[in-house]
Amino acid sequence: MEQFEHGRDKTAIYAKVAYDIASRVAGGDLVENARFSGRSLMGTEYHVSQETIRRAMKLLADMGIIEIRQNSGARVISREQALAYLEKYKMAQDMQTLKQELRAIMERRAALDARTEQLVSDLLDLNDRFEKSNPLRNYEFHVAEGSPLLGKSIREADFRRITGALIVAVKREGSILLSPDPDLRFTAGDIIVTAGNPFSVAQVEALIKGI
């Protein structure tokens, strides 16, 4: 004998009982004008409470499938209505399934978004730490009018020894002079690109400004 339980299915037990009875009507097991009682269903087939049977019978009566008479049980009145109820029930179940699937997808998406955000944060943090620890990080310095470097060559300025930084390029009038010759002379507007550790920045700025 079948017992009706919730389990993972959130459909109310009385609705399951009503669905099963409607299925029997639609399938011809319970024909129109057939009579049955809630007590017999409760005791021999479904093993549910009297209140559950009462609610199932009321639902079937509301749907026009059965007629309930006082003290005389129920009578099947429409197989057509039973078929319509089964279709409506199936649509409701399909909608519930789709909602559950959509909810699960949205939860997975939220988890993926959270993980993506965390990965981006971790990547930016690692990149920042790498740049700060990179001994060959590049820096740019502008040579302005009045700089004591103007007219001096890289060699004459003793740039590497004084600053500890290596000049890897000089940007001048839209051009980039890579690995400039030691005899290259500084002019106003030059942008000096150096490679070195962060501690060399102050020395380069001091040399360019003459302080």
> Do 27 and 96 sit in the same domain of this protein?
yes
> Do 52 and 10 sit in the same domain of this protein?
yes
> Do 13 and 99 sit in the same domain of this protein?
yes
> Do 129 and 143 sit in the same domain of this protein?
no
Please state, in angstroms and rounded to a whole number, the distance separating the CA atoms of residues 201 and 22: 85
* CATH number, position 38: 1.10.10.10
> Do 141 and 129 sit in the same domain of this protein?
no
pLDDT the model gives residue 44: 65
> Do 115 and 148 sit in the same domain of this protein?
no
* CATH number, position 181: 3.30.70.1450
> Do 48 and 94 sit in the same domain of this protein?
yes
Query: Which of the listed residues 114, 133, 152 is the one where a domain comes to its end?
Result: 133
Cβ neighbours for 208, distance < 8 A, ≥ 6 positions apart: 141, 142, 143, 144, 147, 148, 149, 192
Task: Determine the Cα angle at 10 with ends 9 and 13, to 5°.
Answer: 90
Query: Which of the listed residues 71, 106, 133 is the one where a domain comes to its end?
Result: 133
> Do 12 and 116 sit in the same domain of this protein?
yes
Provide the mean pLDDT of the chain: 85
Query: Which of the listed residues 133, 152, 177 is the one where a domain comes to its end?
Result: 133
Q: Are 74 and 57 in contact (CB under 8 A)?
A: yes
Please give the residue range of the domain that contains residue 73.
1-133
pLDDT the model gives residue 101: 85
Q: How confident is the model at residue 153 (pLDDT cuts 50, 70, 90)?
A: very high
In this predicted model, what pLDDT tens digit does every residue of 30-60 receive, in sequence order?
Answer: 899 988 877 777 656 788 888 888 899 999 9
Count of structural domains within the chain:
2
> Do 123 and 168 sit in the same domain of this protein?
no
> Do 39 and 107 sit in the same domain of this protein?
yes
In this predicted model, what pLDDT tens digit does every residue of 11-32 receive, in sequence order?
Answer: 688 988 999 999 999 998 889 9
> Do 183 and 82 sit in the same domain of this protein?
no
In 3D space, the residue among 41, 43, 52, 79 whose CA is nearest the CA of residue 63 turns out to be 79
pLDDT the model gives residue 148: 94
Backbone angles phi, psi at 41, to 5 degrees: -65, -45
